[in-house]
Structure 1
Amino acid sequence: MDNLALLTIGVTLLCCVLGVLGQHAYSSGRAQREALVDRLSSTGQIEPGPQRRFRGFDRRLRRTKLGRRIEQKLAATGLDLTPGEFLFYVLCSVAALWLIAASVLASFFGPLAAIVGLWSANTFLTWHRTKRTEAFIGQLPEISRVLANATQAGLSLRTSIAMAADELEAPAGDELRVVADQLAVGRTLDDALDELARRLPSRELVVLVSTLILSNRAGGQVVSSLRNLTVTLEERKETRREVRTQLSQVNTTAYAVPAIGIGAMLLVNSILPGALDRMTGSVAGQIAVIVSLGLYALGFVAIRRISKIDI
């Protein structure tokens, strides 16, 4: 028994010593990292980034499949958010929607509001990605013109891309800066441009990337190809603007149809307080609400499909 007690005390002391040494190593490493960041920031070699929230949660989330997927979507949107911050804000918003819908309408609408909140979060990322892609497409003629002028001046394609990244505004400048940084660390031009095309999918960008890759491989006339591509992209830009103007009324109708339905439901509940609660108190009422909401969603999707024209 005495030997067991001494062994227990010895193991406990050893664990305490190792814990203290580990905490000391962690603290010293963190202090060295902060000192290195401060020294590089003071010399201008790196720019100090914003203070991030939920770092531990963000690190654990990035190791999961969901975290990597969110990170890829955020990279395409250009939002200054980490996956941990985005997911935390989404969960808080979903919980708030659940409570508001359950208290204002009826308890049955709480889970439905949560589902709508999750769908809205994904739609929000998709909308930002589409918006950024559209802005990038609008800058493609200018990108082609800058690359053509730089190439005609005798610069290599890698140097031309880096120069275009410095001259152009966001989002083209930011995306080309990513490509230039990838080229600087040894990635091939084909891989860097292909990743750009996957990050911001569009036919115009695919044409530009294909032109640059083929010209780089075959050693063709990059300047003449980019000049012709600039004219084509300008014409497509005007065509896309005209089509978007013609379809603006149809797109407005797609959002107005479900808004009218939800507004009518809220109006009924305000005229007859508790009407939605009584209606969803039975299985038949719940089925009717789900079917009606599904039909509104189907109408929204159908109108959006009809108004979608690929150019």
Structure 2
Amino acid sequence: MTTPALIAIAATLACAALAIAGLLTYTRGKSQHAELEKRLAITTGHTPPGTRTRHFTTVDTRLRRTALGKRIQQRINATGLDLTPGEFFVYALLATGVLWAVAAAFLAPFFGPVAALIALWAANTFLNWQRQKRIEAFINQLPELARILANATAAGLALRTALSMAADELEAPAGEELATVANQLALGRSIDEALTELADRLPSRELVVLVTTLVLSNRAGGTVVASLRNLTTTLEERKETRREVITMLSEVNATAYTLPLLGLGAMVMLNSMAPGSLARMTGSTIGQIAVVVSIALYVVGFIAMRRLGKIEV
């Protein structure tokens, strides 16, 4: 066998060895990357990857690097929705474009940008509504949570163990949030940090009182059973009071959303009775100013009625 052939065989074997080593390194790195993503998901409360097929991954990757993406991620984490910032961003843009086109086609071109702004506001309102809905559900579970923690503490269990047990026994959203707290504690975070982050993620007076009680008992030591049992009774009473207040204010909140819809319905009816009337009205500067002033008055009325129907208990 000639020398060039031996050199070629040796080079081929060396390339094969390097390829195998590179493949093993890539596989090991990918496995470590997946494990790191799972640990970060546990720490931050994100949904671990692999639960379903994610869409718009490129947009999501780039968006997460921006301040807007980080804010969207924080808002989504508080809602418990199985969405990525990229998915929410793309869906919001699609809804904005669709509403722009529909408003421009059925009403007048002037209403296209107005509908787009309303769509962006609706996307933000949707996140706020989902977050508030999750907070309300969590507040309703707080009496049962305090009861479980009191019983576990009375049985001699540590607070970490009591939180893990409550995460297993309670349904969502309390079970999911406490599971996140338990996983953070397992990764080495302190009880104060984990509970404080929980209170920041789902802000409410009831949860702040419970977290403060647990944090102070963890710092100062001593028994916390009596405090938790008294807190359970107080939370039950506040739960019933909140339910009565929400029932009494439901009519005011419904009216706040009904009045803008009546205005929109009036415009659609006017344009259907006299086709092109809105386009002619918004074709002049005076008409555009009148429409803008009308929309502003509806917004002021909506905000005022929402403030009247918002009572902190």
Rate the CA distance shift 1:36–1:76 in 2: closer, same or farther, 3 A: closer
Over residues 65-84 of structure 1, what are the superposed CA-to-partner deviations in whole Å (9 max), with x where a residue is unaligned? 00000000000000000000
Partner of 2:175: 173
Superposition deviation, residue 253 in structure 1:
1.0
Partner of 2:39: none
Partner of 1:33: 30
Unpaired segments of 5 or more residues in structure 1? 1-20, 39-45
Structure 2 distance, partners of 1:235, 1:34, is 50
Equivalent residue for 1:74, pick from 63, 73, 76: 76
Partner of 1:213: 215
Over residues 71-113 of structure 1, what are the superposed CA-to-partner deviations in whole Å (9 max), with x where a residue is unaligned? 0000000000000011011111111111111111110001011
Over residues 231-289 of structure 1, what are the superposed CA-to-partner deviations in whole Å (9 max), with x where a residue is unaligned? 00000000000111111111111111111111111110111111100000001100100
TM-score (norm 1): 0.86
Partner of 2:40: none
Partner of 1:226: 228
Q: Which moved more, 1:154-163 or 1:216-225?
A: 216-225
Amino acid of the structure 2 residue aligned with 1:33: K
Rate the CA distance shift 1:211–1:110 in 2: closer, same or farther, 3 A: same
Structure 2 distance, partners of 1:200, 1:34, is 33
Rate the CA distance shift 1:26–1:291 in 2: closer, same or farther, 3 A: farther
Superposition deviation, residue 300 in structure 1:
0.7
Q: Which moved more, 1:194-203 or 1:213-222?
A: 213-222
Rate the CA distance shift 1:264–1:180 in 2: closer, same or farther, 3 A: same
Q: Give the SS at the match of 1:247.
A: helix
Equivalent residue for 1:103, pick from 92, 101, 105: 105
Asked if 1:94 corresponds to 2:67, the answer is no
Structure 1 distance, partners of 2:25, 2:76, is 33
Superposition deviation, residue 221 in structure 1:
2.0
Q: Which moved more, 1:250-259 or 1:282-291?
A: 250-259
Structure 2 distance, partners of 1:27, 1:61, is 31
Q: Give the SS at the match of 1:170.
A: coil
Superposition deviation, residue 37 in structure 1:
6.7
Structure 2 distance, partners of 1:54, 1:279, is 41
Structure 1 distance, partners of 2:28, 2:59, is 21
What is the correspondence of 1:57-206 to structure 2 with a 5 Å cutoff?
57-206=59-208
Partner of 2:312: 310
User: How many residues are aligned here?
Assistant: 284
Over residues 199-225 of structure 1, what are the superposed CA-to-partner deviations in whole Å (9 max), with x where a residue is unaligned? 001000000000000111111321111
Over residues 100-127 of structure 1, what are the superposed CA-to-partner deviations in whole Å (9 max), with x where a residue is unaligned? 1111111000101101000000000000
Q: What CA RMSD, in Å, does the superposition of the two structures yield over aligned residues?
A: 2.4
Q: Which moved more, 1:286-295 or 1:47-56?
A: 47-56
Structure 2 distance, partners of 1:47, 1:58, is 13
Partner of 1:297: 299
Amino acid of the structure 2 residue aligned with 1:231: T
Structure 1 distance, partners of 2:222, 2:312, is 30
Equivalent residue for 1:239, pick from 223, 226, 241: 241
Structure 1 distance, partners of 2:248, 2:70, is 38
Superposition deviation, residue 56 in structure 1:
1.7
Identity of aligned residues (%): 62
Structure 2 distance, partners of 1:48, 1:93, is 27
What is the correspondence of 1:244-283 to structure 2 with a 5 Å cutoff?
244-283=246-285
Amino acid of the structure 1 residue aligned with 2:30: R
Structure 2 distance, partners of 1:230, 1:219, is 20
